[in-house]
A = this chain, B = another copy of it.
Amino acid sequence: MASSASKLENLEIKEMQVVPCTNSPYIQSSRVTFKQNGINRIWDYIREHDGVYILLYNTTRQALVLVKQFRPALYMTVNREQHVEQSHDLHKEHVQKIDSSIPYTAPPTCGVSYELCAGIVDKQTSLEEIAKEEVFEECGYDVPLGDIKRVSAWRGGLGTSCNMHTLFYAEVTDPMLVSGAGGGNVHEGEQIELFYLPVGELRSFMYNEDIAKECSLLFALSWWIENVQKA
């Protein structure tokens, strides 16, 4: 991971261009109209892939294994927040219009998040196998399939996509690290770094809002504290 770590430290984002999102293979919107108990309603929603998350605990290092990466959606959001006030009428200020008119002055590191190892469900295999592959691809650990335990599942945003997210847990050791593996899908331009979070620093990390993270990470760490650390 040493070489990809240096890549993220010297993150360079250039030639940024905002274009219309047509026929996306990842995000599709639709609208449904209906009568609910006689009252007319309209709702806009999106379709996304389902996802898997894997919380990894490295017992050799006594640290949780997270990933750090540049997230374009995060960068665009943070940069927008620095240039325009939160709009309360999205109708009037379309993201396309805003994001293609503001300068990209936020430093690229504003787009770096801390996350669970994760992946989308885009293969005809079991969720556990997809989880195993993501652990190898993103983190470089070769984990036996049987060591990947299911924790729980939930729905994505109930107002928007409701895709299914499943959380797994696995314990790993340094000898499971495969030389040259990890770092993400190079062909897709992913440059994923490992971040080892020592067990003594969980709570300060969780409530540090300067660190961009999803709720999935907050729940997974809460689950680990109660079900592994205190068990």
Contact = CB atoms under 8 A, between A and B. Distances in A.
B212 A155 contact: yes
Nearest to A206: B152
A149 interface: no
A165 interface: yes
A174 interface: no
A183 B191 CA distance: 47
User: Interface of chain A, helix or strand or loop or mixed?
Assistant: mixed
A10 interface: yes
Copies per assembly: 2
Contacts of A115: 158
A146 interface: no
Contacts of A88: 49, 121-124
A11 B33 CA distance: 16
A59 interface: no
A61 interface: no
A133 to B, nearest CB: 14
A30 to B, nearest CB: 5
